[in-house]
A and B are shown apart, each in its own frame.
Chain A
């Protein structure tokens, strides 16, 4: 049976096949988590799985918006007619694939699935590999100035033919890792997951028939496309809106960068134009952005009311075009380095919220802060070196319906318990708390960042840092204020107290030094004077907002934990009205900001 012919597939079968494929994906992810060897995959769970149609459109996938268009580059090298069952194609060459992966540690594996010699689908999975060579262990360095320093680049290759691994290619890949055993373990785990996915798809075809499966693929795409189109039609009027958001630094220079976005909506046409974004960066914050990325972000935001709407190629169909200009931050030219691309990826999200805020009368999220990492490489006489790599949480942006998430890293990635960090990292954590007042004030408050006090126990240690939102805190929307910036100090309150550059590497610390990392908060949404006074009181009692900020910014006055309503009313009437759609230190409008 060919697609397009045969009986029309009914909605129940579509939902059943959707559930079956998502179940197969869960199985693939469980297999990866169970059999991969490196901590990035086993514990940080940094991987992705998907089924795609023969045209390379995602049908079901993990809801992570880092990359897309996973198959085209493979097809360019290996036309569909040359592919056979049991083949697996692999690559991590971000530039060579036009952004199919967005930095080199993510290696993608693609397996075609056939039914009676006809290509039906691709199974795909990528995982963040522990070390692929490059200038430092772990391959990512804030100091990289070229992608060639960030590890080996594998263009699309056939890593498996008819189920047989291409040993020579495997040897080349493995030889370039500092941890070859772990590397092979991870790669085999991900390839096993692809084969499992292919087997599950075979079973699904055997059960429902190939025609029903193919029609269901199409129906799932149509469902997501329709859902997004309907929501766009309901919420976004015709017009053009522009917005610019900023990144502190590229870690190599002091220069800050910006992502610029213009949303053009006319009838059924919606275009996202990034072509006025800043030039590409000298340091590794460049984001080789696949067109699908902003489309997926838009789809996930607009369709969040129905978890049954999958992130797939339907979202891509619903948005006509993404415009970028080569040589810019979101379309860098090789060999611009890519390792810290999440800094720009998250600004793409906030720029999208920025234009949506204008288009929808403020009905968009405020900006999130970018998650934080620090690297502490300790050396002590007579003891093993220690390596501490900790991800630290930040505040996310306030939403139109809820406060921003406090103290959060990102999807599916857990922090280290203090009692574990002290076992492993040669440090003592002396305080770990909420960064009070860091969440932007608003009707809905931005999420707060955190403060972590880390005592160095090694004789000496070298510190690397990546904190964004220290010069350019996460903006607030619709009357909401910006989050507070992050900051890093050594020996606070001591005579030798000093600030450390928040995008930097190579700072020397000594035994007994106290490192204080203060992470940024997310932007607020709506006028703080309209936040219910009891919520403000709650925030003060629970340590998210200071009493001073409650009075000065929210205009809420209380004595002995009881709100003084009369005084609060007077204060709130006297508060200045927001006079710009956005806030970063002060209220502003998008157009003036774009002319900076």
Chain B
């Protein structure tokens, strides 16, 4: 690939094991990809080995790069593995244990006798109280106790903490005390990073706000160091292009913003995958998608409607609720490494226990003896006996031994039947997860295409389509690098919100307009700082609303332009309609409240496209080979195996068939047909009865 003057986008998705890199020419759409090992202990080193590799492979230089896009698990890992900085919390006197108490519930699916409360981001010993109280309406009930504040600063200094979060009650209504605490702590403790809740999530509900702010504080130094290292490395390589990091909300931000609000990067990876699926769905003409990204230990399910990933403010990471806007992801412990086992009562379980990447499935030959989903796929012949175009050889005998010993013999069945059962069970788990995203929200899967990616997604997708009843399956041309592709497809995106309770009857267009204008000013300042010209900015306004006395809100869009009594009437009408659509009822006579106002700002950083694949001369491609595969019958049958790279636009494959490529394998079942579209996406459908007829 050859490139001219700064017209290439460089995207790196750094996962736990591998870093996926793509360099694409924005004009021609030509691209180069690379897969390099990640270096969890020194993530910047892993990043740059990916950069160096793809530039070398592509014969490109630093001057060719227009921007660098980056998805990182650095925040995700720091939160999930409970690492990061030693963090303290300053809060309102009387509320030291808000974080510990949380919402006081045992999860619905848990056994109440065995459930253990997960650890909080900050232990109570590092939570410091300052007298002073802001009321619900923003008025000051008790002035801030400056002397006590200085004593707290001393205590924080003595405790040897690296970062501090400040979360005071009702600070969203009046941030004065919180800002004063922040300023004083910065004076007294210049080496400590401070996160204020009013900067991270100025929205009511103190527990959720405290979790977001303390997690932000905890990952701040890690991310700050990381983006410094990235800046240095880019400079050393003379790459002057701006660096943008992927956030959980499906957009990107520059490094300074990432360092300021790092918790917004918590679901960077899955967000990129869903964004990539949305983008490819648009190319393929499928605006509504269910997405499944199946990897080694878990599967992430997402939802795309009208070409946009669906977002939520009720998401979370690990055990922590996280109320920042993020792409809605449902994660389950079902992956290629999920272990199958037999209980004392003779029942079978698959997952959530996982063999992970090390030692991995039995067939990896790294000493593992317990059977996994990947072993079952190998025994059935659904995946080839080697991965990454032969770079990694698999051991089918080890897979069969593991299944035979741990599942088949205890159940008095064959290894093949046991393998089929293991696959059925993991598919059932994934079908359940896809139902959570669809039918449990009142959506019919038939109206959606299932976009399947990650190494293992395409192996299972055709079966998931059949059990779920989606319209079709989309297997992207490069299922293993969807997150990297998603990075290319994203814009800068910021979410601004503030809680301003307005009761029914007291909803004020002037106040609403002022608050929204203030949010818009913040957005303008941010996008100006990012160098985005006004014509490439897009702002969307919304309000979180509820019926009086309800405990949950719905987010309703608000049209551009001045806020008037009429626009607010429309807003309330839209709220009733949305309530009706989501919850099957509404009450137009009931009082409606506005609780929180929101503004979502995006800045378009430029379009790109991928090249089309060559057109097929005839609709029937030639299989590369054939192997015995057991799909749903009692025995293995010869099934044609196609090379993905040989498939051209318009090629049509009738199932049963296997389509193999560098980083994934797709299965097409009997009765299904797989069409390659102009962008190389494999579109798998059930053959209709008419097509079946001779």
Task: Give A residues with C-beta under 8 Å from B.
Answer: 10-12, 14-16, 19-20, 23, 26-27, 29-31, 34-35, 37, 39, 42-43, 45, 62-63, 181, 185, 189, 223, 226-227, 230, 300-301, 304-309, 365, 393, 399, 402, 405-420, 422-424, 428, 430-434, 450, 453, 538, 541-543
Determine if B106 and A304 form an interchain contact, defined as CB atoms under 8 angstroms apart.
Answer: no
Q: From B96, B428, B442, give the contact of A433 (CB < 8 A).
A: B96
Complex: how many Å from CA A409 to CA B104? 6
- Considering the complex, which residues of chain B in the window 433-454 have a beta carbon less than 8 Å from any beta carbon of chain A? 435-436, 439-442
Determine if B95 and A12 form an interchain contact, defined as CB atoms under 8 angstroms apart.
Answer: no
Q: Which residue of B lies closest to A43 (CB)?
A: B551
* Interface assignment of B97: CB less than 8 Å from any CB of chain A: yes
Given A19-B432, A428-B135, verify A405-B106 contact (CB < 8 Å): yes
Given A26-B440, A34-B582, A227-B345, verify A408-B106 contact (CB < 8 Å): yes
Complex: how many Å from CA A413 to CA B105? 5
Determine if A308 and B343 form an interchain contact, defined as CB atoms under 8 angstroms apart.
Answer: yes
Q: From B95, B411, B552, give the contact of A10 (CB < 8 A).
A: B411
Taking the closest CB of chain B, its distance from the CB of A493, in whole angstroms, is: 14
Q: From A16, A27, A420, A430, give the contact of B204 (CB < 8 A).
A: A420
Task: Give B residues with C-beta under 8 Å from A.
Answer: 93-98, 100-117, 123-125, 135-136, 141, 169-170, 204-208, 342-349, 411, 413, 417-418, 420-422, 424-425, 428-429, 431-432, 435-436, 439-442, 501, 549-552, 582-585, 587
Given A541-B125, A543-B124, verify A308-B347 contact (CB < 8 Å): yes
Complex: how many Å from CA A423 to CA B205? 11
When distances are taken between beta carbons in the complex, the residues of chain B under 8 Å from A418 are 95, 98, 169, 206
Complex: how many Å from CA A246 to CA B504? 48
Q: Which residue of A lies closest to B208 (CB)?
A: A417
When distances are taken between beta carbons in the complex, the residues of chain B under 8 Å from A365 are 113
Q: Which residue of A lies closest to B116 (CB)?
A: A402
Determine if A431 and B432 form an interchain contact, defined as CB atoms under 8 angstroms apart.
Answer: no
When distances are taken between beta carbons in the complex, the residues of chain A under 8 Å from B413 are 10
Q: Which residue of A lies closest to B439 (CB)?
A: A27
Q: Which residue of B lies closest to A14 (CB)?
A: B347
Q: From B345, B349, B431, B587, give the contact of A230 (CB < 8 A).
A: B345
Complex: how many Å from CA A224 to CA B141? 57
When distances are taken between beta carbons in the complex, the residues of chain B under 8 Å from A34 are 440-442, 582-584
11 contacts between A and B (CB under 8 A): A30-B436, A34-B582, A34-B583, A189-B584, A410-B106, A417-B204, A420-B205, A424-B549, A428-B136, A433-B95, A542-B100
Instruction: Count A-B contacts at CB 8 Å.
Output: 208
For the A-B complex with A12-B421, A543-B124 known, give 20 more contacts whose Cβ atoms are closer than 8 Å.
A10-B413, A11-B421, A12-B420, A15-B347, A16-B424, A27-B435, A34-B440, A34-B584, A35-B585, A43-B552, A62-B108, A407-B100, A407-B101, A412-B108, A417-B103, A418-B206, A419-B169, A422-B136, A423-B501, A428-B135
Q: Which residue of B lies closest to A561 (CB)?
A: B125
Determine if B104 and A15 form an interchain contact, defined as CB atoms under 8 angstroms apart.
Answer: no
When distances are taken between beta carbons in the complex, the residues of chain B under 8 Å from A16 are 424-425, 428
When distances are taken between beta carbons in the complex, the residues of chain B under 8 Å from A413 are 104-105
Determine if A434 and B97 form an interchain contact, defined as CB atoms under 8 angstroms apart.
Answer: yes
Determine if A39 and B549 form an interchain contact, defined as CB atoms under 8 angstroms apart.
Answer: yes
Complex: how many Å from CA A20 to CA B125? 46
Q: Which residue of B lies closest to A450 (CB)?
A: B101
Complex: how many Å from CA A305 to CA B169? 40
Determine if B95 and A23 form an interchain contact, defined as CB atoms under 8 angstroms apart.
Answer: no
When distances are taken between beta carbons in the complex, the residues of chain A under 8 Å from B105 are 408-415
Complex: how many Å from CA A418 to CA B98? 9
When distances are taken between beta carbons in the complex, the residues of chain B under 8 Å from A301 are 113
Q: From A42, A63, A414, give the contact of B111 (CB < 8 A).
A: A63
When distances are taken between beta carbons in the complex, the residues of chain B under 8 Å from A31 are 440
Complex: how many Å from CA A20 to CA B439? 14
Determine if A11 and B111 form an interchain contact, defined as CB atoms under 8 angstroms apart.
Answer: no
Determine if A309 and B113 form an interchain contact, defined as CB atoms under 8 angstroms apart.
Answer: no
Determine if A417 and B343 form an interchain contact, defined as CB atoms under 8 angstroms apart.
Answer: no
Interface of B is mostly: loop
Given A433-B97, A541-B125, A542-B124, verify A39-B550 contact (CB < 8 Å): yes
Determine if B440 and A27 form an interchain contact, defined as CB atoms under 8 angstroms apart.
Answer: yes
When distances are taken between beta carbons in the complex, the residues of chain B under 8 Å from A450 are 97, 101
When distances are taken between beta carbons in the complex, the residues of chain A under 8 Å from B115 are 405
Taking the closest CB of chain A, its distance from the CB of B340, in whole angstroms, is: 10
Taking the closest CB of chain A, its distance from the CB of B535, in whole angstroms, is: 40
Taking the closest CB of chain A, its distance from the CB of B559, in whole angstroms, is: 27
When distances are taken between beta carbons in the complex, the residues of chain B under 8 Å from A19 are 425, 428-429, 432
Q: Which residue of B lies closest to A405 (CB)?
A: B117
Complex: how many Å from CA A181 to CA B346? 49
Given A10-B411, A16-B424, A428-B135, verify A411-B108 contact (CB < 8 Å): yes
Complex: how many Å from CA A306 to CA B111? 10
Determine if B104 and A23 form an interchain contact, defined as CB atoms under 8 angstroms apart.
Answer: no
Q: From A10, A411, A424, A538, give the contact of B106 (CB < 8 A).
A: A411
Given A230-B344, A230-B345, A423-B501, verify A434-B125 contact (CB < 8 Å): no
Q: From B100, B346, B435, give the contact of A434 (CB < 8 A).
A: B100
Determine if B204 and A26 form an interchain contact, defined as CB atoms under 8 angstroms apart.
Answer: no
Complex: how many Å from CA A30 to CA B347? 28
Taking the closest CB of chain A, its distance from the CB of B604, in whole angstroms, is: 35
Determine if A11 and B347 form an interchain contact, defined as CB atoms under 8 angstroms apart.
Answer: yes
Taking the closest CB of chain A, its distance from the CB of B425, in whole angstroms, is: 6
Determine if A45 and B108 form an interchain contact, defined as CB atoms under 8 angstroms apart.
Answer: yes
When distances are taken between beta carbons in the complex, the residues of chain A under 8 Å from B106 are 405, 408-412
Taking the closest CB of chain A, its distance from the CB of B328, in whole angstroms, is: 14
Q: From A308, A412, A542, give the contact of B349 (CB < 8 A).
A: A308
Taking the closest CB of chain B, its distance from the CB of A311, in whole angstroms, is: 9
Determine if B205 and A15 form an interchain contact, defined as CB atoms under 8 angstroms apart.
Answer: no
When distances are taken between beta carbons in the complex, the residues of chain B under 8 Å from A542 are 100, 123-125
When distances are taken between beta carbons in the complex, the residues of chain A under 8 Å from B104 are 393, 407-409, 413-415
Determine if A417 and B207 form an interchain contact, defined as CB atoms under 8 angstroms apart.
Answer: yes
Determine if B551 and A420 form an interchain contact, defined as CB atoms under 8 angstroms apart.
Answer: yes
Determine if A411 and B551 form an interchain contact, defined as CB atoms under 8 angstroms apart.
Answer: no
Determine if A433 and B206 form an interchain contact, defined as CB atoms under 8 angstroms apart.
Answer: no
Given A23-B435, A39-B550, verify A15-B345 contact (CB < 8 Å): no
Q: From A23, A30, A304, A434, give the contact of B113 (CB < 8 A).
A: A304
Determine if B169 and A35 form an interchain contact, defined as CB atoms under 8 angstroms apart.
Answer: no
Determine if A300 and B440 form an interchain contact, defined as CB atoms under 8 angstroms apart.
Answer: no
Given A434-B100, A542-B123, verify A304-B114 contact (CB < 8 Å): yes
Complex: how many Å from CA A458 to CA B624? 80
Determine if A433 and B94 form an interchain contact, defined as CB atoms under 8 angstroms apart.
Answer: yes
When distances are taken between beta carbons in the complex, the residues of chain A under 8 Å from B94 are 430-433, 453
Taking the closest CB of chain B, its distance from the CB of A547, in whole angstroms, is: 13
Given A12-B421, A15-B348, A418-B169, verify A300-B113 contact (CB < 8 Å): yes
Taking the closest CB of chain B, its distance from the CB of A516, in whole angstroms, is: 11
Q: Which residue of B lies closest to A15 (CB)?
A: B348
Complex: how many Å from CA A19 to CA B102? 31
When distances are taken between beta carbons in the complex, the residues of chain B under 8 Å from A305 are 114
Q: Which residue of B lies closest to A301 (CB)?
A: B113
Complex: how many Å from CA A432 to CA B107? 22
When distances are taken between beta carbons in the complex, the residues of chain B under 8 Å from A543 are 96-97, 124-125
Complex: how many Å from CA A181 to CA B587? 10
Q: Which residue of B lies closest to A544 (CB)?
A: B124
Question: Lowest 3 A-B CB distances belong to which pairs?
Answer: A12-B421, A431-B94, A30-B440
Determine if A432 and B136 form an interchain contact, defined as CB atoms under 8 angstroms apart.
Answer: no
